[in-house]
Amino acid sequence: MSEVGRLLAGRYRLRRRLGSGGMGVVWKAIDLRLQRPVAVKQLREQPELDAGDSEEARQRAMREGRIAAKLYHPNAIAVHDVVEDGGQPLLIMEYLPSRSLADILGQDGRLTPREAASIGAQVAAALAEAHAAGIVHRDVKPGNILIADDGTVKIGDFGISHAAGDISVTRSGVVPGTPAYFAPEVARGRTPTAASDVFSLGATLYAAVEGAPPFGEDDDNSLTVLHRVAEGVFDEPRHAGPLKPLLLTMLAVDPAERIGAAQVKAAAQAVVTGGRPAIELPRQAQVGAVSADEPATDPLATSSAQTMPVRTEDMAAAPRRKWQPSRRALLYAAGALVVVAGVVVFVVSRPEQPATVAQPRPTTPTSATSRPLTEQDALQVVSNYYAALPEQPDRAWARLSPRMQAQGRERFDSYWSNVTEVTVVSPPRTTGENTVHVGVEIALSDGTTMTEYHQFGIVKVDGTPRIDTDSLLDSKRVEPSRSGTDPASDTLEASSQAPPPPGDGGADDKPGRGNGNGHGRNPNG
């Protein structure tokens, strides 16, 4: 795709190249059907993938595009459609005459704290909406933040470029993105989450007021930057003024110690108006806090948060000193980090293994000294579970507790091998302590569609959130339509059973169905 005037998908006429990156090219185009300007993004071809992996990447790109299209927010670039041209996916997006924050910082210099806070409030509003819908951006950085002439701020590129990279992430360890804006856990090879987005936004706002991201630029040596990010060591901001307390909590090394995007929006907006917001800052996000890896000597240190007002008196720049949150060792026993064309490749001696041990450990409740399970933890594990299905059953299986896994991997795989697509129709939401409700539409290989509503019980196993129970509340089955007949459907009423006994995966014991084990039942039952 290199010629101006080319017609794509029989509808979109290319007018001007807007930009390009490692994962794709963006064009301004004209939608000939609706006679409006649009932005068209085409993912680059990946010759390093074989035919099977390329097809899987294409399907995931289409699926991620459809997911992103469900996000409607005034501060997010709208996704109008996802189509194909020559077998390659195209993302059709809103066209916004604008400059990127990266261009503004490069051409005009750093921003004032209030200017940065205004941008942060608008981006955080979009991220909060996305996170509530189970969407993680995964590449928040100045280049993906667009600012119109009237001051409207919009964030774009919601995950579609990373969808193509997912195959490489799981098969060879490639992590797409810009290392300077990675969250520490992402630099260590973990899956990006909503908390990772908050960190990346914090790093972006830090760069806006300081002139460079917290861990430095990565133009010359991405490997060095990546090491610094993984360690989580950076200098306190000196020009952030009233924005400083908010930045420090957004940049907490432990994802659990960061505030959510909705809180970021409120706190940033208060900085814009010159007010005194009270933001819930986790204790470890404050200067002088105890490291997450060290025992707390203060008997009150187990308290989850305390209120810290943002005051106009804090506007004086802080003296330069090393801000060093938790410093954790980088355990790459026989591994190495390789940077290729701006993409970080992790070669780790202990890659993530499917949870298929013969004798799973019993579910371990949260101890008195460990961080309690949060609402965000519960929502995120459910979102991650369905995001992995049906293409990556190993990753979904790893989200289940030993009690769920005890129902059998063979049964789990048997069910999901008959599923072609999963769509979240009711985003995860908490309905009680450590309980999450979610609705999904499951397309089976025979053309049948199941719409199911589940209630998951969430626990912590060795400090990590896991799905421990699965109760099927309601299910509607729609058979493929036949000539001259209407699609047949049947609805299963909500279960009123008591919680399952230990060892059972959930309460979806319906007629013709087995015990619940994370959808590991007979799909034809």
Q: Which residues contact 205 (CB under 8 A, 6 or more apart)?
A: 116, 117, 119, 120, 243, 247, 250
Residue 154 marked as a ligand binder: no
Report the alpha-carbon distance of residue 266 to residue 151 in Å, rounded.
18
CB 197 within 8 A of CB 137: yes
Residue whose tokens read 């070669």 = 347
Q: Is 339 exposed, middle or buried (0-12, 13-18, 19+ CB in 10 A)?
A: middle
Closest CA relative to residue 18, chosen from 46, 39, 33: 39
For helices 194-210 and 375-387, give the axis angle rounded to 10 degrees: 110
Q: Which of 103, 108, 139, 219 is catalytic?
A: 139
168 closest CA partner among 330, 43, 328, 84: 43
DSSP 97-140: -EEEHHHHHHHH-PPPHHHHHHHHHHHHHHHHHHHHTT------
111 close to 118: Cβ distance less than 8 angstroms: no
Q: Which helix (H) or strand (E) holds 459?
A: strand 449-461
3-state secondary structure of 40: strand
Closest C-alpha among 136, 156, 146 to residue 199? 136
CB atoms within 10 A of CB 510: 16
Q: Is 139 a catalytic residue?
A: yes
Residue with tokens 């004209």: 30
404's tokens = 């769920």
Point out the annotated binding site.
41
Active-site positions?
139
Point out the annotated binding site for ATP.
41
